[in-house]
A and B are shown apart, each in its own frame.
Chain A
Amino acid sequence: MEEKEIYTELNSIRNLMERSAKFISLSGLSGIMAGVYALIGAGYAYYLVYGPYGGLQYRDYYITDQQVLWKLFFIALIVLILSLGTGILLTLRKAAKKNQNVWNPSSRKLMVNMAIPLLTGGLFILILIARGHYAVVAPASLIFYGLALVAASHYTFEDVKWLGILEIILGLFATLLPGYGLIFWSVGFGLLHIIYGSIMHFKYDR
């Protein structure tokens, strides 16, 4: 057997082991878009909470304002749906371009592993909201999202793990400083997504 032949053989083995175990059609661009949606949503939420003049004056009465609460809830929901929609669309497009199937054992595992912490976190947050503990929303969503990313990272790019760890750290800081929830949330879901999405885009998508 020629040396060259052995190298191609080993290469094909490595490639197959990786492709079979990891889902690599995730689009970096969708990360950037999710970050942009989050920042716009957070900006509008900030406006709702603090009024048109901004400022950092202390306010505690908005929490009892049901209308503002519902608006905030809908903003979060719209950001979530837009991010997921864009993510799915761009990932489908990337997979089609690479001639890969989107629905394969690794993408299935990716979904299941991400869904467990995400659904747990979602229910946890909804229960706490129902009980009036609003301050926990920002830190808990960051922490559970970070945990979901770390769990998902075994089945896709290794880089996802670092994004997850950063989200967890931010979430813990947000727990320490509950008054700045919205700012931590904007950094975690907005800024980090944009930075991370750009890195992924230039590293893998081109």
Chain B
Amino acid sequence: MRSALEHFDKAFENRIRLQVMSILVANENYDFNSLKELLEVTDGNLASHLKALEKEEYIIIYKSFLGRKPNTSYAASEKGRAAFLKHLQSLENLIKQQKR
């Protein structure tokens, strides 16, 4: 078990953080409101998870204006992409080990 859990990423222990990351990996970028709608979470909840991912440098933030309204969008960083793939790999390994 130990070898499989080696790459298990603490930042992805939270479900919503993992979900945010999977959306950002599949798309070039995604804005705050669309993330909120897709994940069905509250503003504060999403913001705190995004902050956590930002602290890990897993995501990049783009701030812009749509007319007068501020519009924040997010993209996965290289580091975040690599961490996400590693995490998936460790999930896969875990399954493989349990099958054995």
Size of chain B's interface in residues, with CB distance under 8 A? Answer: 19
Does A3 lie at the interface of the complex (its beta carbon under 8 Å from any beta carbon of B)?
A: yes
Does A158 lie at the interface of the complex (its beta carbon under 8 Å from any beta carbon of B)?
A: no
Does A179 lie at the interface of the complex (its beta carbon under 8 Å from any beta carbon of B)?
A: no
Please tell me if the beta carbons of A16 and B19 are within 8 angstroms of each other in the complex.
yes
Residue numbers in A under 8 Å from B26 (CB-CB): 16-18, 20-21
Does B23 lie at the interface of the complex (its beta carbon under 8 Å from any beta carbon of A)?
A: yes
Task: List which B78-100 residues lie within 8 A (CB) of chain A.
Answer: 88, 91, 94-95, 98
Does B38 lie at the interface of the complex (its beta carbon under 8 Å from any beta carbon of A)?
A: yes
Q: Size range of the interface on A?
A: 10 to 19
A1-35 toward B: CB 8 Å interface, digit per residue (1/0)?
A: 10100110110110011111100000000000000
Residue numbers in B under 8 Å from A13 (CB-CB): 18-19, 22, 88
Closest to A17 in B: B26
With A16-B38, A20-B38 known to touch, is A9 a contact of B18 (CB < 8 Å)?
yes
Does B37 lie at the interface of the complex (its beta carbon under 8 Å from any beta carbon of A)?
A: yes
Residue numbers in A under 8 Å from B94 (CB-CB): 1, 3, 6
Does A101 lie at the interface of the complex (its beta carbon under 8 Å from any beta carbon of B)?
A: yes
Q: How far is the CB of A95 from chain B (nearest CB, A)?
A: 12
Please tell me if the beta carbons of A21 and B27 are within 8 angstroms of each other in the complex.
yes
Alpha-carbon separation in the docked complex, A19 to B35 (Å): 11
Number of A-B contacts (CB under 8 A): 48
Alpha-carbon separation in the docked complex, A62 to B94 (Å): 72
Residue numbers in A under 8 Å from B27 (CB-CB): 20-21, 105
Q: How far is the CB of A1 from chain B (nearest CB, A)?
A: 7
Please tell me if the beta carbons of B23 and A20 are within 8 angstroms of each other in the complex.
yes
Please tell me if the beta carbons of B91 and A17 are within 8 angstroms of each other in the complex.
no
Residue numbers in B under 8 Å from A10 (CB-CB): 88, 91
Please tell me if the beta carbons of A20 and B95 are within 8 angstroms of each other in the complex.
no
Q: How far is the CB of B23 from chain A (nearest CB, A)?
A: 4
Most chain-B CB neighbours within 10 Å: which of A13, A19, A101? A13
Q: Which residues of B contact A (CB under 8 A)?
A: 15, 18-19, 22-23, 25-27, 30-31, 34, 37-39, 88, 91, 94-95, 98
Q: A12-B15, A13-B88, A101-B37 are in contact. List 8 more A-B contacts (CB 8 A).
A: A1-B94, A3-B94, A7-B95, A10-B88, A12-B19, A16-B39, A17-B25, A21-B27
Report the 10 A-B pairs with minimum CB-CB distance, sorted nearest first: A17-B26, A20-B23, A13-B22, A21-B26, A3-B98, A17-B22, A16-B22, A6-B91, A105-B34, A16-B19
